[in-house]
């Protein structure tokens, strides 16, 4: 009985670690300005991630919604 519980715990921990790793990779990628607005794909100045504050806010809202939905 407790063996099954231990295995389940290990499984959950493994999934959690994997989720955290993916999140870190995504966050690292997010830090990199790519020359295009992350929200609308508009060309932006070097080093910028968004073309304006509205896009930044929209993107943050979408990110939050995605997180709440539990989607990758
Ligand atoms: Zn934009």
10 C-alpha to ligand 1 centroid (Å): 42
Q: Give the residue among 66, 67, 57 at the shortest CA–CA distance from 37.
A: 57
**pTM recorded for the entire structure:** 0.53
Angle at 48 between CA 68 and CA 38, to 5 degrees: 35
71 C-alpha to ligand 1 centroid (Å): 23
What local confidence, expressed as pLDDT, does residue 50 receive?
93
21 C-alpha to ligand 1 centroid (Å): 28
11 C-alpha to ligand 1 centroid (Å): 40
- Each residue's pLDDT, cut to its tens digit, for the chain (72 residues) gives 567 778 889 999 999 898 888 776 666 666 688 888 989 999 999 899 999 999 999 999 998 998 899 855
19 C-alpha to ligand 1 centroid (Å): 28
Secondary structure letter of residue 35 according to DSSP: S
């Amino acid at each position: 009985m407790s063996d099954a519980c231990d295995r389940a715990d290990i499984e959950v921990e493994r999934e959690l670690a994997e989720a955290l790793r993916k999140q870190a990779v995504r966050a690292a990628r997010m830090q990199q300005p790519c020359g295009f607005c992350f929200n609308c794909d508009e060309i932006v100045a070097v080093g910028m991630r968004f073309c304006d504050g509205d896009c930044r806010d929209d993107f943050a809202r979408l990110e939050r919604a995605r997180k709440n939905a539990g989607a990758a």
